[in-house]
C-alpha cells in the first residue's frame, strides 16, 4: 500500500478545500487580556504582550508551554537532562532550571497562581482559554520573580449549561493522548467542571547498551473546578489539580569524544566492547548513545486555590489563596557513557508553597482608575542529592594517569594509598560518593499599587510602584564517603618534598623537630615554587606530581553551612499612552524588575574566593586550588526596560510593534556542569531590539499571522564566567543562546461545504544561528532553527477531525550543551525532538 507523508496530506486537503465555500468571517476577533490585573483589549493595554487564544492552541496542536515557543518569537522553552529541567526565556533573559534554590526570572502563573518552579508548569494545556506572554520586567504587578517577564495561563470557568468533550490522539512513536471535559450546573448558583488528560508516547532517543528507546512521554492531569455565583456581585471559584509525570528522559548525545573516550571503552575499564566509540561521538542527531543506566524522572504536582471576586460598585475586591506541593525524583547516568563510572545519582525534591494575593481596584468611569494590592509568599524547599561512583571509576582514573601504559596506571592509586598510609582500595571505591541534604525557607511579601490618570480624552498616564521584602534561610548538610576528593594535594606535595629531603621520613611532628631545616624548606610556599619550576626546587622527583590528579576530584567536599539573606527593593512602572486615532495607540515608558538573592543548593555550593586569592600551586593562576572556592549564592537581580510601542487594529489588520532597550544588572547565571551548577552574577547584560506582531485577514477565508523578534544582546560586564577550562572573561561578548532573529509565520484557511466546516494551517519558525551555551565554543555547539508545523481539520455535527504534524522539516538543532563530567576534552549536548505527526478526533456534546 502506498504511503503519504503528513506534508503531502496537508497540501492535498488544502487543495481540495480551495474549491469549497469560505467561512463568512469578515473581521479579526477582539482579544481581551488581563496583563494589568484587569480586563482590557489587546489594543488598549499599553504592555508588550502576546496572546495565544484557545482556537490557535487547538489548531496548531499545542500540547504544552514548550510547544508555544513555535509561534511566540520572544519566548524560548527548552527541556534538558530531566523532565523537571525546563527553562523559560523571554527576550533572551531567563534562568533557574533544575537548581532548586533558584526561582526562574520568568514568572509562570496559572489562573493567577504563581508556580515557583518550572517543573510545576510543564503539564499539558487542557481547558485553556488563552495564554498571555508578557515581555520585559513585570515586578510591579506580578512580584519579585518576574524580572524578565511573565507567562500567564488562563483556564475556562465552569458553565451553567451542560457541555463537554472527549478527545483522542494517535501519533507516531506510538503516541496516545486522551482528554475529557464535562461542565454544567449543580444548582442555579453552583457550577462545576472536570477535565483530565493522559499522554503517553514511546521514546525517540535510542540507548544502545540495552537497545531501549528513551525520551518518552507518560503524563496525566486531573483538574476540577467549582463556581459559586453567591450573588450578582460576588463570585467564588475553587480549583484543585493533580498531575503526574513518570518518564525515562532525557537522552544526551556526544558532540566531541575527547581522549577519555577510548579509555572508557577499553576492556580494562568497561569490560564491554561496543562498535564505534563509547558515546557515538560526532552524530548527535542520530539520537543514540551508550548509557549504563536509564534516566528516570518522576514529578508530582498538586494544588488547591480559592478565588474570590466581589463587585462593590466603584470598587472591586479580588482574593486568590493557594496552596501547592511539588515532589520530584530523578536518577540519571551522570557521566552519560556506557562505562560504569557513576552508578547512582538520585535527586529528590519536596516544595510546599502558600500564597495569598489581595487586590482592591477602583473604576468609577471617570478620569482616574487605580489598583492597590498585597501578595504574600511562603515556600519551604527540601532537596537531597546522592552521587555514588560505579565499579569502573577506579580503573578509569588509574588508566588516565598513564594512558600509554594502562597496566602501570592501574598501580597509581594503590601506590599513593600505601604512601600516605590508607588501605589499598580506599580511593574511588565502588558505591562511595557524596550526599547533600538542603533546606530553604522563603518568606516574601509585596505591596503594590498602580494608578491610571486620563490627562485628556486621548492621553493616559500610568504610574505604578511595588515594594518587595524577601527573607531566605538556608541549611546545607553533607556526607562524604568518596575519599580521594578530600585529599589535599598541596599538602601531599609537602609530604613528598619533606620525604625527599629527609631520606623518606614521614611529615610527623617528631620528624619536624628532628629535621627543622628540611621542614621549613618543605612548606607550602616551597611546594608552589617546586611546581612552578622555580630555582629553589628544580623539576624532578621533588615536585608534586599528584597535582595532575586535581581534575578527578570533581566530588570535592562541601562544608556544611546555615545562612540567610534578606533583601528589599522598590520597583516602579511609568507609562504614557496616546490614542492617536480610534484604531491606533502609541505608548512609551520605563519599568523595573527585581529578583532576590538566589542560593546555590547544588553540590557545587562552595565559599567565594577571597578578594586577593593566593597563588596557584601550578604557578601564576589567580584562583587557588585549596581550599576549593565556588559560588554559594547569587546577589539580587535588577532589570530595567525602556520601551515604546505602537498598537493598531482595524477590521482586517492588527499590528503590534515594540522597540526596547532592556538591561539586567547582576543577572543570575546558572551554568550546568554535569553533577552540579555554578551560580553567579553576570555584572551587566543589555539587549536592544524590537518585536513586530501582525495579523492580516486577507479574505473571508485566509488569515496570515506574522511575528518577528530582533535581539542585539551584550555582556557589558561578566569577568568571571564559567568556561570549559575554568573562568573566562565574557565582558563585551554576545551572550550565548540568544538568536539575533526569530521569525514565525502562520497561514490559516477556513472553509465550509454544506454542514462541514474545515481549516488548513501551517506555521514556520526560523531562528538564526547562535552559540548554544556560554561555556562551550560555537564550533562545537551552535543552534539554528528551521521548523514547519501544519494541520488540517474539519468539523460536523459535534465531531472534529484533525491531522497534524510538528517539525515536519525534521529540522535538527541543539537545545543546549555542556562539558562532559570528569572527561576532559569531551562535550555533550541535547538534541531537539524530531518530526512528530498524528490524528486527533474530538466529540463535543
| Mean pLDDT across 585-601 | 93
C-alpha count within 13 angstroms, C-beta hemisphere, residue 697:
17
pLDDT band at 620 (very low <50, low <70, confident <90, very high): very low
Q: How far from each other are the two terminal CA atoms of the chain, in whole angstroms?
A: 36
Q: How deeply is 29 buried, as exposed, middle or buried, from its count of CB atoms within 10 A (0-12, 13-18, 19+)? A: exposed
Please give the Cα distance from 39 to 309 (Å, whole number).
Answer: 13
How far CA 201 is from CA of 171, 196, 580, 774, 836, in Å, comes to: 8, 17, 52, 33, 11
Give the model confidence (pLDDT) of 478-522 as tens digits: 999 999 988 877 667 667 777 777 777 877 778 778 887 777 766
**What band does 528 get if pLDDT is binned at 50, 70 and 90?**
low
Between 415 and 588, the more confident residue is 588
Three-state secondary-structure class, residue 770: strand
- Whether residue 100 is predicted with pLDDT greater than 90 in this model: the reply is no
For residue range 381-408, what is the model confidence (pLDDT) as tens digits? 999 999 999 888 999 889 888 888 888 8
The span from the CA of 420 to the CA of 438, in Å, is 33
* Residue range 830-838: mean pLDDT, rounded: 93
CA distance 781 to 777: 6
Please state, rounded to an integer, the average pLDDT across all residues of the chain: 84
Would you say the C-alpha torsion 524, 530, 536, 540 has a positive or negative sign? positive
Instruction: Report percent pLDDT > 90 for the chain.
Output: 47
Q: Is the pLDDT of residue 648 over 70?
A: yes
Per-residue pLDDT at 691 exceeds 90: yes
* Mean pLDDT, residues 568-580: 94
SS3 for 374-431, per residue?
A: EEEEEEEEEEEEEEEECCCHHHHHHHHHCCCCHHHHCCHHHHHHHHHCCCCCCCCCCC
Report yes or no: 381 and 149 within 8 Å, Cβ to Cβ: no
Range of weakest confidence among 71-85, 144-158, 173-187, 377-391:
71-85
List the single range of 189-203, 247-261, 363-377, 532-546 with lowest mean pLDDT: 532-546
Higher pLDDT, 604 or 759: 759
Please give the share of the chain, as a percent, with pLDDT higher than 70: 86
Q: Please tell me the least confidently modeled range out of 4-13, 156-165, 229-238, 241-250.
A: 4-13
Confidence of residue 19 (pLDDT cuts 50, 70, 90): very low
pTM of the shown model = 0.86
Widest distance between CA atoms in the chain:
106
| Alpha carbon distance 465, 774 (integer Å) | 35
Q: Which of 526, 45, 98 is nearest to 328 (CA)?
A: 98
* Confidence (pLDDT) at 676: 63
Three-class HEC string of 516-583: HHHHHHCCHHHHHHHHCCCCCCCCCCCCCHHHHHHHHCCCCCCCCEEEEEEEEEEEEEEEEEEECCCC
Q: pLDDT class for 724, splitting at 50, 70, 90?
A: low
Q: Each residue of 422-455: pLDDT tens digit?
A: 899 999 999 999 999 999 999 999 999 999 999 9
Query: In the structure grid, which three cell numbers stand for residue 111, read together?
Result: 489562573
Q: Tell me: the pLDDT tens digits for 282-308?
A: 578 889 888 888 888 899 999 999 999
Amino acid at each position: 500500500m502506498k504511503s503519504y507523508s503528513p506534508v503531502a496530506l496537508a497540501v492535498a486537503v488544502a487543495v481540495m478545500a480551495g474549491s469549497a465555500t469560505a467561512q463568512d468571517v469578515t473581521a479579526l476577533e477582539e482579544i481581551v487580556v488581563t496583563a494589568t490585573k484587569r480586563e482590557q483589549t489587546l489594543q488598549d493595554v499599553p504592555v508588550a504582550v502576546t496572546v495565544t487564544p484557545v482556537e490557535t492552541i487547538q489548531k496548531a496542536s499545542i500540547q504544552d508551554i514548550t510547544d508555544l515557543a513555535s509561534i511566540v518569537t520572544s519566548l524560548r522553552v527548552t527541556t534538558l537532562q530531566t523532565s523537571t529541567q525546563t527553562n523559560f526565556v523571554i527576550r533572551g533573559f531567563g534562568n533557574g532550571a533544575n537548581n532548586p534554590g533558584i526561582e526562574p526570572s520568568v514568572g509562570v502563573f496559572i489562573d493567577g497562581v504563581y508556580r515557583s518552579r518550572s517543573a510545576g508548569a510543564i503539564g499539558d494545556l487542557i481547558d485553556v482559554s488563552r495564554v498571555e506572554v508578557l515581555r520585559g520586567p513585570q515586578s510591579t504587578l506580578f512580584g519579585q520573580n518576574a524580572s524578565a517577564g511573565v507567562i500567564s495561563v488562563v483556564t475556562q470557568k465552569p458553565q451553567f449549561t451542560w457541555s463537554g468533550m472527549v478527545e483522542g490522539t494517535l501519533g507516531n512513536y506510538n503516541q496516545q493522548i486522551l482528554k475529557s471535559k464535562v461542565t454544567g450546573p449543580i444548582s442555579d448558583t453552583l457550577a462545576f467542571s472536570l477535565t483530565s488528560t493522559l499522554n503517553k508516547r514511546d521514546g525517540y532517543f535510542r540507548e544502545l547498551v540495552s537497545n531501549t528507546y528513551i525520551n518518552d512521554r507518560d503524563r496525566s492531569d486531573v483538574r476540577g473546578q467549582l463556581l459559586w455565583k453567591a450573588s450578582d456581585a460576588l463570585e467564588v471559584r475553587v480549583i484543585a489539580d493533580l498531575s503526574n509525570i513518570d518518564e525515562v528522559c532525557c537522552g544526551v548525545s556526544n558532540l566531541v569524544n575527547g581522549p577519555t573516550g577510548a579509555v572508557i571503552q577499553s576492556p580494562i575499564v568497561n569490560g564491554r566492547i561496543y562498535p564505534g566509540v563509547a558515546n557515538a561521538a560526532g552524530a548527535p542527531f542520530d539520537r543514540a548513545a551508550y548509557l549504563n543506566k536509564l534516566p528516570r524522572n518522576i514529578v508530582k504536582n498538586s494544588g488547591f486555590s480559592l478565588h474570590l471576586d466581589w463587585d462593590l460598585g466603584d470598587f472591586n475586591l479580588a482574593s486568590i489563596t493557594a496552596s501547592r506541593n511539588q515532589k520530584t525524583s530523578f536518577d540519571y547516568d551522570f557521566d552519560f557513557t556506557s562505562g560504569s563510572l557513576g552508578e547512582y545519582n538520585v535527586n529528590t525534591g519536596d516544595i510546599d508553597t502558600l500564597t495569598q494575593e489581595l487586590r482592591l481596584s477602583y473604576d468609577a468611569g471617570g478620569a482616574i482608575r487605580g489598583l492597590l494590592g498585597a501578595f504574600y509568599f511562603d515556600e519551604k524547599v527540601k532537596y537531597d542529592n546522592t552521587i555514588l561512583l560505579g565499579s569502573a571509576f577506579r580503573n578509569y582514573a588509574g588508566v588516565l594517569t598513564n594512558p600509554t601504559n594502562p597496566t602501570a596506571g592501574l598501580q597509581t592509586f594503590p601506590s599513593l594509598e600505601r604512601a600516605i598510609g590508607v588501605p589499598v582500595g580506599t580511593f574511588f571505591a565502588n558505591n562511595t560518593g557524596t550526599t547533600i541534604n538542603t533546606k530553604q525557607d522563603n518568606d516574601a511579601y509585596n505591596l503594590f499599587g498602580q494608578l491610571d490618570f486620563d490627562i485628556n480624552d486621548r492621553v493616559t498616564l500610568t504610574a505604578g510602584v511595588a515594594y518587595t521584602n524577601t527573607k531566605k534561610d538556608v541549611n546545607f548538610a553533607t556526607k562524604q564517603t568518596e575519599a580521594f576528593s578530600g585529599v589535599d594535594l598541596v599538602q601531599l606535595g609537602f609530604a613528598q618534598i619533606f620525604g625527599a629531603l629527609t631520606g623518606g621520613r614521614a611529615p610527623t611532628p617528631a620528624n619536624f623537630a628532628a629535621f627543622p631545616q628540611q621542614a621549613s624548606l618543605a612548606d607550602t610556599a616551597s611546594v608552589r615554587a617546586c611546581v612552578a619550576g622555580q630555582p629553589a626546587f628544580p623539576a624532578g622527583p621533588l615536585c608534586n606530581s599528584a597535582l595532575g590528579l586535581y581534575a578527578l576530584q570533581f566530588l570535592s567536599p562541601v562544608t556544611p553551612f546555615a545562612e540567610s539573606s534578606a533583601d528589599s527593593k522598590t520597583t516602579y512602572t511609568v507609562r504614557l499612552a496616546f490614542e492617536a486615532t480610534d484604531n491606533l495607540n502609541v505608548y512609551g515608558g520605563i519599568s523595573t524588575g527585581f529578583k532576590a538573592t538566589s542560593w546555590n543548593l547544588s553540590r557545587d555550593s562552595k565559599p567565594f574566593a577571597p578578594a586577593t586569592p593566593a597563588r596557584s600551586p601550578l604557578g601564576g593562576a589567580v584562583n587557588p586550588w585549596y581550599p576549593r572556592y565556588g559560588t554559594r549564592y547569587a546577589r539580587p537581580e535588577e532589570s530595567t526596560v525602556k520601551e515604546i510601542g505602537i498598537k493598531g487594529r482595524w477590521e482586517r489588520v492588527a499590528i503590534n510593534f515594540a522597540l526596547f532597550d532592556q538591561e539586567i544588572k547582576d543577572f543570575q547565571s546558572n551554568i550546568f556542569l554535569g553533577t552540579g551548577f555554578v551560580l553567579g552574577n553576570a555584572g551587566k547584560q543589555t539587549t536592544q531590539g524590537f518585536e513586530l506582531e501582525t495579523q492580516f485577514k486577507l479574505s473571508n477565508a485566509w488569515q496570515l499571522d506574522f511575528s518577528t523578534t530582533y535581539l542585539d544582546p551584550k555582556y557589558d560586564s561578566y569577568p568571571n564566567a564559567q568556561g570549559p577550562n575554568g573562568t573566562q572573561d565574557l565582558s563585551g561578548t554576545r551572550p550565548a543562546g540568544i538568536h539575533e532573529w526569530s521569525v514565525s509565520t502562520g497561514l490559516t484557511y477556513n472553509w465550509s461545504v454544506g454542514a462541514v466546516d474545515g481549516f488548513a494551517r501551517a506555521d514556520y519558525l526560523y531562528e538564526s544561528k547562535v552559540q548554544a551555551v556560554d561555556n562551550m565554543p560555537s564550533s562545537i555547539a551552535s543552534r539554528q532553527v528551521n521548523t514547519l508545523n501544519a494541520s488540517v481539520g474539519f468539523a460536523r455535527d459535534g465531531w472534529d477531525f484533525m491531522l497534524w504534524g510538528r517539525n515536519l522539516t525534521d529540522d535538527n538543532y541543539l537545545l543546549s550543551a555542556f562539558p562532559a563530567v570528569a572527561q576532559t576534552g569531551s562535550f555533550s549536548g541535547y538534541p531537539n525532538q524530531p518530526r512528530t505527526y498524528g490524528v486527533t478526533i474530538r466529540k463535543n456534546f
